[in-house]
Structure 1
């Protein structure tokens, strides 16, 4: 079953400690690269997050954002009384020097740096926080994999279409291949015959046969055709298996391109060359898709 490396998944849940939301985006990458933004409150849980992600994903560049909002916004902050007292004392001394009797507004002092601070999250048991985060993280990963699987199914259809196209061109090449030597023999006999008749000479049949044998050996593509047919079968079996691997498919597609390129260079035939060009175009389309398969 093919699975794309590109996708998006998100989930959210609310508990006694507040609301946790997780958003995950993935793109293709040679290995698994996780970039997690958990915020100050959830940073302590990064090892657990990493372990869960690796249980669900094997390849791709993963951007994960997790946010936690406390059940009560007011309890998330505290007043730094020492800082507020120091601001008030300094302002009172300045008023005395300036002989100013205007009342001091505590609300304005509260807006000064360091007066309002976030509450200390270290008092919250990490196990309780993980119990809230874990199911949300798993749900987001499952949603992500559903999207990646849907895109993988679409990619599978496209790959199988191009695979069938390559097989059709290869079958046509199989029918054309025996005619290459026959065509060369006819051209060789015609050119040499004309040349010899002009000069009143003759050439032994054995010499022509030797030349044809050398040409036949040089242009023989039977081995390449057999190997390419094997690669096509391997590719089809791999994409249909439950453990489809992008790395394995990438290797097979490289071998397919190598054999196709060799057929084009050895065949020495214009019609076969046209089929080879179409096959290369199909292989390139497949290669681009494979780069995004997990």
Structure 2
């Protein structure tokens, strides 16, 4: 089944402890390129996170964005009770030495340096977060692949229609091709008769036939038509393949252009050229669609 390189998928998880949201999207690229934006806790697991993408996608630029937030309520500061006791004892000793009866205020002690320390968050379980991220990534990846498959089906339908149009044009070209030599024969005889009128020169039929045969050989496009039909058959078979086919279709389209250009150079006929231009236009549209195929 044909697959597009364009798609989008997302997945989300939330409980009392954390929240994670994953988005993955892909756009066209001749090769596979992954651009990951990960939270700090997952920075060291980039290869493990990207592995499912590399296993399921062959071509395209993949943009992966993972947002993770811990919902645990943790104090920003903690009380240094050891330092508080140390200050209290020190001030009481000084009071005794000075004979002071002033009470030591807890509020005043709280303002002294070192009483409050910056809190340290409890270490997060990186393995559990990694496991969650891979699970959600696979869910989002499946959604994106489903979208790529639907778009690929539409691309295949469009290319198949253009292939059928080219085949119908080739039938017209095949019917027209023999008439080109016949019309040239008539023009050649009429022109020769006009040029030799009033002279004693006679042009033998053998000379005319030889000239007509050379022209017919030079304008014969039978071989190119057969090769182009063969490429169209290969294109149809490729569209039905389950393997990634974008590069193969691109190659087939190049060969189709090659045969059509050769026919254009050989076709000494305005009607044939018009039909061949229509064929080239359809091939160009197929090539544009091939840019979107994985």
CA RMSD of aligned residues (A): 2.3
Aligned residue pairs, count: 262
Query: How far has the Cα of 1:240 moved from its partner?
Result: 1.3
More off after superposition, 190-199 vs 57-66: 190-199
| Correspondence 1:141-160 to 2 at 5 A | 141-160=141-160
Could you tell me how far apart the structure 2 residues matched to 1:80 and 1:262 are? Answer: 82
Q: Secondary structure at the match of 2:197?
A: helix
Could you tell me how far apart the structure 1 residues matched to 2:78 and 2:219 are? Answer: 86
Query: How far has the Cα of 1:230 moved from its partner?
Result: 0.1
Could you tell me how far apart the structure 2 residues matched to 1:167 and 1:117 are? Answer: 75
Q: 1:44, 1:126 within 8 Å by CA — same for their partners in 2? A: no
Identify if the C-alpha distance between structure 1 residues 80 and 187 changes in structure 2 by more than 3 Å, giving closer, same or farther.
farther
Could you tell me how far apart the structure 2 residues matched to 1:173 and 1:18 are? Answer: 67
Could you tell me how far apart the structure 1 residues matched to 2:160 and 2:6 are? Answer: 20
Q: 1:45, 1:126 within 8 Å by CA — same for their partners in 2? A: no
Could you tell me how far apart the structure 2 residues matched to 1:81 and 1:167 are? Answer: 83
Partner of 1:247: 247
Normalised by the size of structure 1, how large is the TM-score?
0.83
Partner of 1:39: 39
Could you tell me how far apart the structure 2 residues matched to 1:39 and 1:129 are? Answer: 10
Show structure 1 runs of 5+ residues with no match.
86-102, 107-114
Q: 2:41, 2:126 within 8 Å by CA — same for their partners in 1? A: no
Partner of 1:198: 198
When you count helix as a share of all residues, which structure comes out higher? 1
**Rg comparison, structure with higher value:** 2
Show structure 2 runs of 5+ residues with no match.
84-106, 111-116
| Correspondence 1:1-294 to 2 at 5 A | 1-14=1-14, 17-72=17-72, 74-75=73-74, 78-79=76-77, 119=121, 123-294=123-294
Normalised by the size of structure 2, how large is the TM-score?
0.83
Query: How far has the Cα of 1:71 moved from its partner?
Result: 3.4
Could you tell me how far apart the structure 2 residues matched to 1:118 and 1:170 are? Answer: 76
Could you tell me how far apart the structure 2 residues matched to 1:118 and 1:54 are? Answer: 37
Query: How far has the Cα of 1:199 moved from its partner?
Result: 2.7
Query: How far has the Cα of 1:183 moved from its partner?
Result: 1.0
Moved over 6 A (4+): 115-118
